[in-house]
Amino acid sequence: MTNSRTAHATAAEAESASFIKDFLALIKIGIVNSNVITAFTGFFLAIQFAGRHFLDELDLLFYVVIGSALIVAGAAAMNNLIDRDIDPVMSRTKSRPTVTGRFRAPAVFAMSIAFMLIGEILLFSASTTAGLLGIAGVFSYVVLYSMWSKRKHVSNTIVGSISGAIPPLIGWAAIEPALGPGAWALFLIMFAWQPPHFYAIAMRRTEEYRAAGIPMLPVVKGFARTKKSMLAWVLVLFPLPFLLPQLGWPFIILATALNAGWLFIALKGFRAEDDIKWATRMFVYSLNYMTILFVSMIIFAVII
According to the model, what pLDDT value does residue 15 have?
58
- 193 within 8 A of 235, measured Cβ to Cβ: no
Distance CA 19, CA 246 (A): 45
| pLDDT surpassing 90 at residue 18 | no
- 94 within 8 A of 102, measured Cβ to Cβ: no
Distance of alpha carbon 97 from its chain centroid, rounded? 20
Write the CA distances from 291 to 42, 216, 285, integer angstroms.
14, 25, 10
Prediction pTM value:
0.92
Q: Which amino acid is at 150?
A: K
Q: Which amino acid is at 204?
A: R
Distance CA 76, CA 70 (A): 10
CATH architecture of 24-303: Orthogonal Bundle (1.10)
- 43 within 8 A of 172, measured Cβ to Cβ: yes
According to the model, what pLDDT value does residue 71 have?
98
- 283 within 8 A of 197, measured Cβ to Cβ: yes
Q: Is 195 helix (H, G, I), strand (E, B) or coil?
A: helix
Q: Average pLDDT of 296-301?
A: 96
According to the model, what pLDDT value does residue 4 have?
59
- 258 within 8 A of 292, measured Cβ to Cβ: yes
Write the CA distances from 28 to 62, 111, 201, 214, 223, integer angstroms.
21, 14, 16, 20, 28
Distance CA 222, CA 140 (A): 26
According to the model, what pLDDT value does residue 100 have?
87
Distance CA 134, CA 199 (A): 25
pLDDT band (50, 70, 90) for residue 28: very high
- 133 within 8 A of 173, measured Cβ to Cβ: yes
Lowest mean pLDDT: which of 93-107, 137-151, 159-173? Answer: 93-107
Of all residues in the chain, what percent carry a pLDDT higher than 90? 86
pLDDT band (50, 70, 90) for residue 90: confident
